[in-house]
Chains A and B, each alone.
Chain A
Amino acid sequence: QSVLTQPPSVSAAPGQKVSISCSGSSSNIGNNYVSWYQQFPGTAPKLLIYDNNKRPSGIPDRFSGSKSGTSATLGITGLQSGDEADYYCGTWDSSLSAGWVFGGGTKLTVL
């Protein structure tokens, strides 16, 4: 059971927009920045969003992040077949057992 809750899967057609939610608590999302990662099978995760809504260089602006309270959302517009991957949210948890926490991952299917 992951500390952060994500939907197991989402799907949408090419060109459409999709949102992936990430729910946490006051000890993690509520008081820390959220990051998002994209992972293709057999490869390492790749940073898509950091500090809630910032994109590293090279990440297209089709990817966006937002945070409100204890939840965060990854948005992807203009879906492409190459976006089909697993997506994870992550943040620091400031509880007694401090450390990084991740969501269980969301499988994005481009129909």
Chain B
Amino acid sequence: EVQLVESGGGLVKPGESLRLSCAASGFTFSTHSMNWVRQAPGKGLEWVSSISSTSSTTYYADSVRGRFTISRDNAKKSLYLRMRSLRAEDTAVYYCARDFAYGIDVWGQGTTVTVSS
């Protein structure tokens, strides 16, 4: 079964850091670009970051550029998101998601990040 499982979410204070992980299974992880997409409470989907299959190219939303870092370990079939200088507006469910053709076809169940003092 194709599956993505996120972990690492939690409650942090403004200015603190957090690292999210995503474990992939059931497919050849190393051949797919991967993404992080978030959804604030009661809001729509917001793309956060993407990384190519070989890590050669990364992209970031303007709202997180310079604070978040996406990375992957193909040997471990894992995707990561290092988040620094967290703000209240970063509070959201963070989804790990797989690129397929010109769509995102596999989504994890999400991990919740809450930034509050």
Given the complex, which residues of B lie within 8 Å of A99, measured CB to CB?
A: 47, 49-50, 59-61
Interface SS majority for chain B: strand
Chain B binder among A16-24, A45-53, A74-82:
A45-53
User: Is B35's CB within 8 Å of the partner chain A?
Assistant: yes
List residues of chain A with CB under 8 Å of any chain B CB.
2, 32-35, 37, 39, 44-47, 49-52, 54, 56, 86, 88, 90-92, 97-105
Within 8 A of A (CB), among B17-50: 35, 37, 44-47, 49-50
Which of A50, A56, A92, A100 has the largest number of chain B CB atoms within 10 A? A100
Is there an interface contact between B61 and A45, defined as CB atoms closer than 8 Å?
Answer: no
Q: Give the CA-CA distance A35 to B44 in the complex, in Å.
A: 15
- Contacts A44-B109, A100-B50 hold; do A51 and B102 have CB atoms under 8 A apart? yes
Provide the main secondary structure of the chain A interface. Answer: strand
Known: A98-B59, A99-B59, A102-B44. A50 touches B107 (CB 8 A): no
Give the size category of B's interface with A: 20 to 34
Q: How far is the CB of A31 from chain B (nearest CB, A)?
A: 11
Residues of B close to A52: CB separation below 8 A:
102
Give Cα distance in the complex from A52 to B45, angstroms.
19
The 4 closest A-B pairs by CB, nearest first: A50-B103, A33-B102, A35-B103, A100-B47
Q: How far is the CA of A44 from the CA of B59 in the complex (A)?
A: 22
- By beta carbon, the residue of chain A nearest B57 is A98
A99 to B61: give the CA distance in the assembly, Å.
Answer: 7
Partner of B45, one of A33, A34, A45, A92: A45
Q: Are A102 and B95 in contact (CB under 8 A)?
A: no
Are A105 and B45 touching (Cβ within 8 A)?
yes
